[in-house]
Structure 1
Amino acid sequence: MRFRYENYQQFQAMRYAVEEINQRSDLLPNITLGFYAYDSCAAQQNEIKGTLWMLTGTNEVMPNYCCRKSPPLSAIIGHSKSTYSMLIGHILGLYKFPQISYFSTSSLLSDRTTFSSFFRTVPSDVFQSRGLAQMVLHFKWTWVGLIASNDDYGYKGLEVIKQEITKGGACVAYIIYMSRNLIDQNIHNIVQVIKESSANVLVAFCTDVYLIPVLDEMLKQNVTGKSFVASEAWSISNVLTVPKYSSLLSGTIGFAFHSSTIPGFQNYLNSINPLNTPGTMWSTFFWEEAFGCTFPNQTNHSIIVNDLENPCTGDENLENLQNSYNDVSSLRASHNIYTAVYVIAKALDDLNHCRTLAGPLFNKYCSKLNNFEPWQLLHYFKKVRVKLSNDREVYFDEDGNPPAVYDIVNWHLGSDGTIRQVKVGNYDATDTSRNIFSINISAIWWPTENNEIPFSVCGQSCPVGFRKAPRRGKPVCCFECVPCAQGEISNQTDSIDCLKCPWNMWPNSRRDRCFPKPIEFLSYEDSLGITLAAISSFSCVVPISIFRLFIHYKSTPIVRANNHYVSCILLVSLSFCFLCALAFIGYPQPEKCLLRQAAFGLVFALCVSCILAKTIIVVFAFMATKPGSSLKKWTTPYLPYMIIVICTLIQFTLCVLWLTISPPFPQYNIEAKPGIIVVECNENSPFAFWCMLGYLGFLASVSFTVAFLARRLPDNFNEAKLITFSMLAFLSVWVYFIPASLSAQGKYTVAMEIFAILTSSWALVVCMFLSKCFIILFRPNMNSRENLMGKDRGRK
């Protein structure tokens, strides 16, 4: 058998704690502590025997009997293995006998119904499992594999890890349970699953014994690029730190029991004398193993075959040793034993300071320190609080667990190919003032290029401007990147949802930021707006110029032939038609929106009414001259003006009703053109708008029909033909305007209406007055009464 230096150090830690307490005056003054130490050699039968020996006080197994009277046995420290602690706990729980384990972590031991007197100075595996899951989430590993031993330790640990990982939004790629019996499992298939999985991080919840076959097969199959997360059962294992496994395990990060120091402990370890130390047989085993010598008249118990000429003197210097016995840099199990002794001492001290009427006994009486029952001391265990030299306070929760504090260790690859286990942080579940993780990221060594954190996700990271969308039939962590919808952004990588921009903002090209939408309206700064305004301004001068020409030649036959005054009204109204286009250019202010369509409707109604009046005058002029015509009584100088007033008044009424009941108003249109706010006038009542426009069409249609029917009437200047062409052009423009305006968007809708106004106005000017102006200016011989009458007679 091999002598284990670390176990002997743990034994000395218990001795040191007892001796230190016995020398203190503030803890159990005038009371001397003692201890028994049993070595069961990890055999269950010996565990039961040792437990019953301690309970009975003899070397005979006699249940329900105790011959020890003084001093009383206070508590039992042990066992290190959870399975054995459960075995002992079932027995000690019957007697309500305090039991403290320094290394048993199984969550089953937290069951107070079964293990009512069990306590421990190490946290339960539940805390470790939660911590490991939180560390996985801390490094943003959302796609991980889980492997564990097929025992209570592995099953319970992975159960909690899986729950916590899933709760945190990550996913488990696979779960593998390993057996110590290689015959019962196919290591090749296990490693094949690990190799083929896209999960680059493995959480291994097992001891090093289970992991070795898997690592050997991974080397055989040349598996690379996998990072391990270690449970405390193997995170500080020396068996796995050999160069053979460095390519697989370098960069491993995991939990280890909290390490600490014990002041003066190293000097104590180096002062041990093998000849007068409690546990003499263990001391001689240790001495012979450590120094490679043999005590005289002693059997060589060491695995090393020593030369009998190299006897042990007992004076060898322990300070020259470099092994796990006197390595006190990171005490874990030894410190837990040291803590357990202090917990027992503090509970005894609290019992000793019990005051009558405040004790745990009937009627609140107290028991005596030299004569108490185990359940009486158990009362103080539940409430004990011990302040250690490292300023940590130890106490137990309702399940007998101490505060959960772990070291985070990282496996650094040395230049010689060996691995060093370096503490890089802490996990303190009791810390409420800051993050429970305290990790020095710069101290972590990762086996990746540029020492970057390993990447382990089911899908590629989604950049800004994209969101994660789940893949059909895959876990939620397996996703694909989908661009944010129109009007939405994501300003973080791996966003689950895109954020909608405010109504007045729009995403940039990368869809990672919202910026104000540009405002669009037909403005005077716009080239299109300037062009239309210039055309409108120039166009309005043309009717005025013709008006002045008609005033100058008002006595000529061509001007007087078709009602000189109605033509002047028509020219003025046409000038206003051109000018009303300006009301559609510029920022749509409330007043402008309210009046522009009404002004357009009234001016054009006046214009078309004048043409209708001229058309009727032409018809009446020839029809009334026939003998017996009833139209003579209607042929008065006031008839055209009556037509103009009545037709315009109807349009005026329609506009007043529209503006009163449902007036137009300015609005921000964000739907017309994506990414642009179109400032426009909302007509509020499309029905009223189309009624106004329909009335204009009605007037124009009547004028066209009457003029068309009268086109063959004798007339040197044939006003009827001119009206026919002008109305045909007018109607054509507005008929084409309807589908064009419906298909246009934003400012182009307004531009289309302005274009229709200008075009239709020019059609009237050209068709009605171009030929007359040409005769007045360039054919004055035709502008005479003789010419007009002569042609008439010639036709007759």
Structure 2
Amino acid sequence: NPDLLPNITLGFYAYDSCAVLPREIEGTLWMLTGNDRAIPNYRCRESPALSAVIGHSTSTYSMVMAHLLGLYRYPQVSYFSTSPLLSDRTQFPSFFRTVPSDKFQSVGLAQLVLHFQWTWIGLLAPDNDYGQEGIQVIKREIWNSGACVAFTEFIFNGMFFRDLTRIVKVMKDSTATVIVAFSTDIYMILILEEMLRQKVTGKLFVASEAWSISNVLSVEKYSSILTGTMGFAYHSTTIQGFEEYVNNIHPYRTPGLTWAKIFWEEAFGCKFHDEKNFTELPGSLGNVCTGDEQLESLHNTYNDVSSLRFSYNLYTAAHVIAQSLHDLSQCKDWGRELTSKECSTISNFHPWQLLHYIKKVRVKLDNKREVFFDENGDPPAVYDIVNWQRTPEGVIKPVKVGSYDTATSSEDMFSINTSMVRWPRVPLSICSESCPPGFRKVARRGEPICCFQCTPCFSVSDSVDCTKCPWDMWPNTQKDQCIPKAIEYLSYEEPLGMALASTSVSSSVIPVSIFSLFIHYKNTPIVRANNYALSCVLLISLSLCFLCSLAFIGYPQPEKCLLRQAAFGMVFTICVSCILAKTIMVVLAFVATKPGSSLKKWTNPRVSYMIVNVCSFIQLILCIVWLSLSPPFPQYNTQTQPGLIIVECNENSPTAFWFMLGYLGLLATISFVVAFLARRLPDSFNEAKFITFSMLAFLSVWVSYIPASLSARGKYTVAMEIFAIQSSSWALVVCMFAPKCFIIVFRPDMNSKEHLMGKTPNWPPNCTEW
């Protein structure tokens, strides 16, 4: 790159620890010393300076290196160490990596599981830092999302065969069909071999990056188990110009001849002749490398640069260091201007100075991806989501079907093309089947929340709680949606309301007809003898009694609720007051005819009017107090009957209502008692008998109404009161006026003064005149 460190060449030392921890420590000190042996706290090589260290690939070894390098503030960039512990800046202040932390991968794997709505998951991991840390994050994410873990199994180092058998048996017996394996391919081989032995099928693995693209596992032997596996792999890309560079490598013309010869021997499976070893015999080396082999003719992993993953992370690490050195050489800083004394040259700088630039570095690579580090030394996490699919040759191959990129917005962070995913069967990993609409989930005792049973309840699908419908709605038969409740009131449109309304109107005509009859025959003896004025008032009141029942039919509007009970009470009070006045006048008329009686002055018609006015005025006061202090109002009753809104009038004060009705009953009772005592008065037409019958019928109706109204519900309570009004009104009409009308219309011969005085020829001899 001509724009990056122009005229500067970067070199490297390579040290192989052979995965031995003491040699790792020795190699780190060797690089710091700059000599062929390790001398702690000494730097023997002055030039060229050690800029940074790339490595190690294993997290445990990187931690050992980071503890040493951190003491001297030497930048360390790993391309394969993924342990979340390395993000601790207190312990590892100079550690960076171009590979994401396993924390990001664990969160992404949990999101992958939840994306496919798998809620019953098995977890499998080796018993080391890598497995323990990764599984804990996955488990936390799964629980936080509402999914559940069916089992968690750890593969121990040096595991006995019976322990391996037990783990696979747990997997086989579990109802979880999806297993997240946060492991390496070495441990997975043990598990897969045991699964083949126990003939375990029907399980789908979700793979961590450590084995998601493993060539060791993607063979035909394991295809019956691993086909369909989903997993995370490090982001793959191409390096511009790298293919041409690799194909132009030559063992005699490429810088770093030792490395070039090793590469050549591995690529072509040959061996170079060692010129220093004179004991080698011709033909003993087998296939001898000539250097004339053509790399373009090879098609293997050595020159396949179409999908680089680990190499790309190492390539990125080199670019990060190069860009940081370039920024240092340019005396570039962020936020302030540096003085000449503060600037360092590329040939003379301290490790901590380069560390400062690595913390701030931003590198844009050829694939337009920008690399930088957060406060913990971690880069943006970018993973490829792969799906293991069977090829026509019978092997399985990881195919990229999506990506997980934390550098993008939250909406685009997780993307997957489900149409590209291939499974042997659509996996369904749940502990319990979803509850259909109309049922709610009830957890089983002692089991995770994903294991539940369904009980009837109004709810949407998979609801935990019952959903309450609005007050004016209720659940349908399937209990999966709210429907409006039926509204009920005694209306004119329904048969019952029409019948009661027509009966009220037609019945009100009867008292008016009798009133007309009385006006026509007002001068006849039978009309005059029964207090013509009171009879007229009574008849008008009875007609209003029939008509007042119309106020109880139809929608209960506020005006209706306010006045209907008061109107009913007042007109019936006038009726009963008139009957009481007539009763008292009959008794007074009989007593006043006796010689020397002082009650004759009370037989004046004004006394009867006064009785009616006083009795009615008391009821009027009761009604005014009721309507003023606690007026009735319309209400929606949703408690009486499920699924029904009863629109009714709330009397507001039951005490006032029963007080009004009780006063009416008191007047009727007094009338009944007085008429009953006067029933045997010697009158040829004794009205006291008819009053007795009328009051008896009136009281019987309203006494029967009390239990009937308490047992009725909704519109039938209103219908019951209307029936009581009409029945009691008819009782008064029939008992009080039917005999009189019969005589007036059909027996005019009896409508005479002589008949009323008992002077007719047909008068029985045992009757006494008065």
C-alpha distance in structure 1 between counterparts of 2:320 and 2:467, whole Å: 55
User: 2:429 matched to which residue of 1?
Assistant: 456
User: 1:3 matched to which residue of 2?
Assistant: none
C-alpha distance in structure 2 between counterparts of 1:639 and 1:70, whole Å: 138
**Other structure's SS at 2:160 match:** helix
Is the Cα–Cα contact under 8 Å of residues 356 and 366 in structure 1 kept in the other structure?
A: no
User: 2:634 matched to which residue of 1?
Assistant: 666
C-alpha distance in structure 2 between counterparts of 1:282 and 1:439, whole Å: 40
Higher mean alpha-carbon deviation, 777-786 vs 55-64, is at 777-786
Is the Cα–Cα contact under 8 Å of residues 466 and 484 in structure 1 kept in the other structure?
A: yes
2:451 maps to amino acid: C
Say whether residues 1:186 and 2:163 are aligned partners: yes
2:639 maps to amino acid: E
1:748 maps to amino acid: Y
User: 2:739 matched to which residue of 1?
Assistant: 771
For residues 736-760 of structure 1, what are the alpha-carbon distances to aligned partners after superposition, in whole Å with 9 as ceiling and x for unaligned?
2223323333333222221221121
User: 1:543 matched to which residue of 2?
Assistant: 511
C-alpha distance in structure 2 between counterparts of 1:618 and 1:219, whole Å: 114
C-alpha distance in structure 2 between counterparts of 1:356 and 1:427, whole Å: 32
Higher mean alpha-carbon deviation, 548-557 vs 689-698, is at 548-557
User: 1:127 matched to which residue of 2?
Assistant: 104
Is the Cα–Cα contact under 8 Å of residues 180 and 210 in structure 1 kept in the other structure?
A: no
Higher mean alpha-carbon deviation, 512-521 vs 526-535, is at 512-521
Residues 271, 715 of structure 1: alpha-carbon distance in 2 compared, 3 angstrom cutoff: farther
User: 1:323 matched to which residue of 2?
Assistant: 300
For residues 487-539 of structure 1, what are the alpha-carbon distances to aligned partners after superposition, in whole Å with 9 as ceiling and x for unaligned?
xx54xx32344544444444444444445444333222232221211111111
Of the three residues 225, 228, 231, the one matched with 2:208 is 231
**Other structure's SS at 1:176 match:** strand
Is the Cα–Cα contact under 8 Å of residues 52 and 61 in structure 1 kept in the other structure?
A: yes
For residues 83-131 of structure 1, what are the alpha-carbon distances to aligned partners after superposition, in whole Å with 9 as ceiling and x for unaligned?
2212222222222221111001011212222222211100111111122
- Gapped regions of structure 2 (runs ≥ 5): 278-282
* TM score, norm. by length of structure 2: 0.92
User: 1:379 matched to which residue of 2?
Assistant: 356
Say whether residues 1:207 and 2:180 are aligned partners: no
User: 1:470 matched to which residue of 2?
Assistant: 443
**Other structure's SS at 1:382 match:** helix
For residues 762-785 of structure 1, what are the alpha-carbon distances to aligned partners after superposition, in whole Å with 9 as ceiling and x for unaligned?
222222233333344444454444
Higher mean alpha-carbon deviation, 662-671 vs 336-345, is at 662-671
C-alpha distance in structure 1 between counterparts of 2:211 and 2:559, whole Å: 82
Residues 26, 281 of structure 1: alpha-carbon distance in 2 compared, 3 angstrom cutoff: closer
User: 2:600 matched to which residue of 1?
Assistant: 632
Higher mean alpha-carbon deviation, 552-561 vs 27-36, is at 552-561
User: 2:488 matched to which residue of 1?
Assistant: 520
Of the three residues 618, 629, 637, the one matched with 2:586 is 618
For residues 557-579 of structure 1, what are the alpha-carbon distances to aligned partners after superposition, in whole Å with 9 as ceiling and x for unaligned?
44344323322222221111000
Of the three residues 617, 620, 625, the one matched with 1:649 is 617
C-alpha distance in structure 2 between counterparts of 1:152 and 1:326, whole Å: 34
**Other structure's SS at 1:680 match:** strand
C-alpha distance in structure 1 between counterparts of 2:276 and 2:700, whole Å: 125
C-alpha distance in structure 1 between counterparts of 2:393 and 2:505, whole Å: 91
C-alpha distance in structure 1 between counterparts of 2:276 and 2:717, whole Å: 110
**Other structure's SS at 1:678 match:** strand
Higher mean alpha-carbon deviation, 663-672 vs 114-123, is at 663-672
How far residue 410 of structure 1 moved from its aligned partner, in angstroms, is 1.6
1:462 maps to amino acid: C
C-alpha distance in structure 1 between counterparts of 2:126 and 2:337, whole Å: 43
Is the Cα–Cα contact under 8 Å of residues 181 and 206 in structure 2 kept in the other structure?
A: yes
How far residue 652 of structure 1 moved from its aligned partner, in angstroms, is 1.4
User: 1:347 matched to which residue of 2?
Assistant: 324
C-alpha distance in structure 2 between counterparts of 1:307 and 1:625, whole Å: 164
How far residue 262 of structure 1 moved from its aligned partner, in angstroms, is 0.8
Is the Cα–Cα contact under 8 Å of residues 547 and 571 in structure 1 kept in the other structure?
A: yes
User: 2:280 matched to which residue of 1?
Assistant: none
Number of residue pairs matched by the alignment? 759
User: 1:564 matched to which residue of 2?
Assistant: 532
User: 1:89 matched to which residue of 2?
Assistant: 66
Residues 247-326 of structure 1 correspond to what in structure 2 (within 5 A)? 247-278=224-255, 280=257, 283-296=260-273, 310-326=287-303
Higher mean alpha-carbon deviation, 692-701 vs 53-62, is at 53-62
Is the Cα–Cα contact under 8 Å of residues 361 and 367 in structure 1 kept in the other structure?
A: no
- Gapped regions of structure 1 (runs ≥ 5): 1-23, 301-305
C-alpha distance in structure 1 between counterparts of 2:52 and 2:506, whole Å: 111
Of the three residues 314, 321, 343, the one matched with 1:337 is 314
For residues 427-446 of structure 1, what are the alpha-carbon distances to aligned partners after superposition, in whole Å with 9 as ceiling and x for unaligned?
12232363421121222223
What's the RMSD between the two structures over aligned residues? 2.9
**Other structure's SS at 1:410 match:** strand
C-alpha distance in structure 1 between counterparts of 2:623 and 2:551, whole Å: 16
Residues 1-80 of structure 1 correspond to what in structure 2 (within 5 A)? 24-80=1-57
Of the three residues 481, 492, 499, the one matched with 2:454 is 481
C-alpha distance in structure 1 between counterparts of 2:333 and 2:365, whole Å: 29
C-alpha distance in structure 2 between counterparts of 1:360 and 1:45, whole Å: 45
User: 1:761 matched to which residue of 2?
Assistant: 729
Residues 236, 81 of structure 1: alpha-carbon distance in 2 compared, 3 angstrom cutoff: same
Is the Cα–Cα contact under 8 Å of residues 383 and 404 in structure 2 kept in the other structure?
A: yes
Percent identical: 66
How far residue 342 of structure 1 moved from its aligned partner, in angstroms, is 0.4
Residues 769, 189 of structure 1: alpha-carbon distance in 2 compared, 3 angstrom cutoff: farther
Of the three residues 732, 735, 760, the one matched with 2:703 is 735
C-alpha distance in structure 2 between counterparts of 1:358 and 1:794, whole Å: 136
User: 1:20 matched to which residue of 2?
Assistant: none
Of the three residues 716, 719, 734, the one matched with 1:748 is 716
User: 2:669 matched to which residue of 1?
Assistant: 701
Higher mean alpha-carbon deviation, 732-741 vs 530-539, is at 732-741
C-alpha distance in structure 1 between counterparts of 2:491 and 2:390, whole Å: 70
How far residue 195 of structure 1 moved from its aligned partner, in angstroms, is 2.7
Say whether residues 1:413 and 2:369 are aligned partners: no
Residues 147-158 of structure 1 correspond to what in structure 2 (within 5 A)? 147-158=124-135
How far residue 545 of structure 1 moved from its aligned partner, in angstroms, is 1.9
C-alpha distance in structure 2 between counterparts of 1:771 and 1:439, whole Å: 97
Residues 706, 446 of structure 1: alpha-carbon distance in 2 compared, 3 angstrom cutoff: farther
Is the Cα–Cα contact under 8 Å of residues 295 and 312 in structure 1 kept in the other structure?
A: yes
Residues 708, 359 of structure 1: alpha-carbon distance in 2 compared, 3 angstrom cutoff: closer
**Other structure's SS at 2:584 match:** helix
User: 1:795 matched to which residue of 2?
Assistant: 767
For residues 293-350 of structure 1, what are the alpha-carbon distances to aligned partners after superposition, in whole Å with 9 as ceiling and x for unaligned?
44456999xxxxx997754332223233232222223211000011011011011111
Residues 760, 244 of structure 1: alpha-carbon distance in 2 compared, 3 angstrom cutoff: farther
**Other structure's SS at 1:403 match:** coil
C-alpha distance in structure 1 between counterparts of 2:671 and 2:94, whole Å: 111
Is the Cα–Cα contact under 8 Å of residues 361 and 376 in structure 1 kept in the other structure?
A: no
C-alpha distance in structure 2 between counterparts of 1:375 and 1:185, whole Å: 53
Is the Cα–Cα contact under 8 Å of residues 267 and 302 in structure 2 kept in the other structure?
A: no
Residues 580, 474 of structure 1: alpha-carbon distance in 2 compared, 3 angstrom cutoff: same
**Other structure's SS at 1:612 match:** helix
User: 1:143 matched to which residue of 2?
Assistant: 120
User: 2:502 matched to which residue of 1?
Assistant: 534
User: 2:150 matched to which residue of 1?
Assistant: 173
Residues 787, 356 of structure 1: alpha-carbon distance in 2 compared, 3 angstrom cutoff: closer
C-alpha distance in structure 2 between counterparts of 1:270 and 1:764, whole Å: 122
**Other structure's SS at 1:203 match:** strand
**Other structure's SS at 2:634 match:** strand
C-alpha distance in structure 1 between counterparts of 2:691 and 2:336, whole Å: 120
Residues 476, 795 of structure 1: alpha-carbon distance in 2 compared, 3 angstrom cutoff: same
Say whether residues 1:391 and 2:368 are aligned partners: yes
Residues 558, 418 of structure 1: alpha-carbon distance in 2 compared, 3 angstrom cutoff: farther
For residues 125-156 of structure 1, what are the alpha-carbon distances to aligned partners after superposition, in whole Å with 9 as ceiling and x for unaligned?
11111222233333333332221110011111
Of the three residues 99, 120, 141, the one matched with 2:76 is 99
Is the Cα–Cα contact under 8 Å of residues 589 and 600 in structure 2 kept in the other structure?
A: no
